[in-house]
Chains A and B, each alone.
Chain A
Amino acid sequence: MTMAGTTPRRRVSLGGALPALTGLGTLIAFFAIMEVLIRSGGLNRFIVPPPSEIIASFPRIIVEEQVLSRFVMTLTECLTAGVMLTIVGVSGGVLMQRFKLLQQACETWVAALASAPVVLCYPLFLVIFGRNAWTIIMMGFVSGLPPVILKTLEGISGTRKVLVNVGRSFNLTPTQQFWKILFPAALPTIFVGIRLGLIFALINVVGVEFLINFGGLGQLINELAERYDLSGTYAAICFVVLVSVLFFMVLEKAERWLTRAE
């Protein structure tokens, strides 16, 4: 459970810098090895540019390629898809838990959808929504939806029976039973689903931007790659990574706040 994890982390806050430093060190070491390998000719520099060149191309793509506004665009698309899949996914999971018929009818195909390569449907979305941000957002939304629904369903159905009985023994109304017991008990599992859903959404948002050559960072990567600007391409990829880092930081904050606030 997530809440079980927060306390020890708080307790070892002094030693907490060590794992972070080790992680950073590993990353730097990796880039240093790449640099050496590429400069010594062990790796072809026309396939992988040396990290120093990627870093050097940052100012260029920021100034010439409006990478910041593209970054904001991709981030906005992801956030919109994220908010939509949280609202729709959690409600969907709740409805399926409430109405057994709906669950029996839908659970299998939602699970099937979770593993389907939804990205292949992008032409259909293009036809429906046109070549604009909504196609991208809807693709991210649809691909991230199944894990949110399934984990919500799992979390609520998996609420320990004794907690439900505590609620019953205190004469809770069905609404109270849901908001005061089932939902908070399921929240850690729901967050696992949201996190998975966001990963899928992010992948699909950038992927569809790339495919339909529209929008933010995905389109930029497409363009730079076509121009054979390899260091620029990798620099743009760094911004995609930044989007996902920001995203998960916000999510973690939200989770802390929701699971501890009372």
Chain B
Amino acid sequence: MTAPSPKPANADILVVDDVVVRFDTPDGPVTAVDHVSFGVRPGEFLSVIGPSGCGKSTLFNVIGGLLGHTSGVVSVCGETINSPHQSIGMVFQEESTFPWRSVTDNVAFPLELIGMPKAQRIERARHFIALVGLDGFENRYPNELSGGMRQRVSLARTLASEPKILLMDEPFAALDEQTRLLLGDKVLQIQQQLKQTTLLITHNITEAVQMSDRILVMTYRPGKVKRIVDIDLPRPRTSEIVGSEAFGRYVAQIWADLREEASRGMRDEEEHALHQTGAAS
């Protein structure tokens, strides 16, 4: 019942066309991303959801130009990507602030690279620090901040490079539930304010439904596009919308898709574990 991938339209700012990523492992080749195609429209918030191990991060790294792909084409504004493209800004799942730089210097990092004069880049950095709600922490160092605040520093640093497309790989996965909800609100608010084209990788259904215009559901191994769901909910969406009936229907629908994949993933892992213990004894 896999839906055929829709042909990417020309208006799309990001086009992923028939991308395959295969890894050579000691146990033979592993296909992490299998003929994935989709497009992202300007200003759109698209989430990619799937069970862990389905190839989400691999896809993220390919779009970000950090990882080569086996076949297919990724293009941004019509330019084919083979290495990191300046129009794409990435926010990583792991803690990625520079511990040796203050909040301001972290956020000013991309501005420093383009040679912006110091006074000007500090002012720009302040703007983005305020945007993520960290005013008052400009001179702190990452080790003085909580996990959620550090993730906001990373977000501000990426936003400061003013990417056309913001690419986020499970940016809240390491945070507690409350922080995650609040940060989700913040990201959504910023995204709406800047009309920032955003691609969010997640395994959290609620998060995806709350934030996205569309959700791309991936299958478990090999990672294919299972379905793309339009989320037709009014904006602005705060964490309050989570209780509504329409919201619940979307969650249920996506969960139905995901459950099948997740349980396949679980069985696969169990078999793998059994196989390993079998081989060891």
Contact = CB atoms under 8 A, between A and B. Distances in A.
Nearest to A183: B100
6 contacts: A165-B90, A170-B161, A172-B113, A187-B100, A260-B100, A262-B105
Is the contact region of chain B dominated by helix, strand, or loop, or is it mixed?
A: loop
B100 A169 contact: no
A165 B89 CA distance: 12
B169 to A, nearest CB: 10
Interface string A142-177: 000000000000000000101101101111100010
A202 B195 CA distance: 61
Contacts of B161: 170
Given A3-B143, A7-B144, A170 B99 contact: no
A170 B143 contact: no
Most buried by A among B88, B92, B161: B92
Nearest to B89: A169
A169 B64 contact: yes
Nearest to A171: B84
A4 interface: yes
Contacts of A169: 64-66, 84, 88-90
A259 B102 CA distance: 11
A160 B105 contact: no
Contacts of B90: 165-166, 169
Chain B interface size, under 10 / 10 to 19 / 20 to 34 / 35 or more? 20 to 34
Interface string B127-144: 000000000000001011
Contacts of B101: 184, 262
B113 A165 contact: no
Interface in A102-150: none
Contacts of A185: 98-100
B113 A170 contact: yes
Interface string A219-262: 00000000000000000000000000000000000000001101
Interface residues of A, number: 23
Contacts of B100: 3, 184-185, 187, 259-260, 262
A14 interface: no
B123 interface: no
A52 to B, nearest CB: 47
Given A168-B66, A169-B90, 19 more contacts: A3-B99, A3-B100, A3-B141, A4-B99, A4-B143, A162-B94, A162-B95, A163-B98, A165-B66, A166-B90, A170-B113, A171-B84, A171-B86, A181-B98, A185-B98, A187-B100, A260-B100, A262-B100, A262-B102
Contacts of B86: 171
A176 B113 contact: yes
A1 interface: yes
B102 A168 contact: no
A172 B25 CA distance: 29
B179 interface: no
A1 B141 CA distance: 13
Nearest to A184: B100
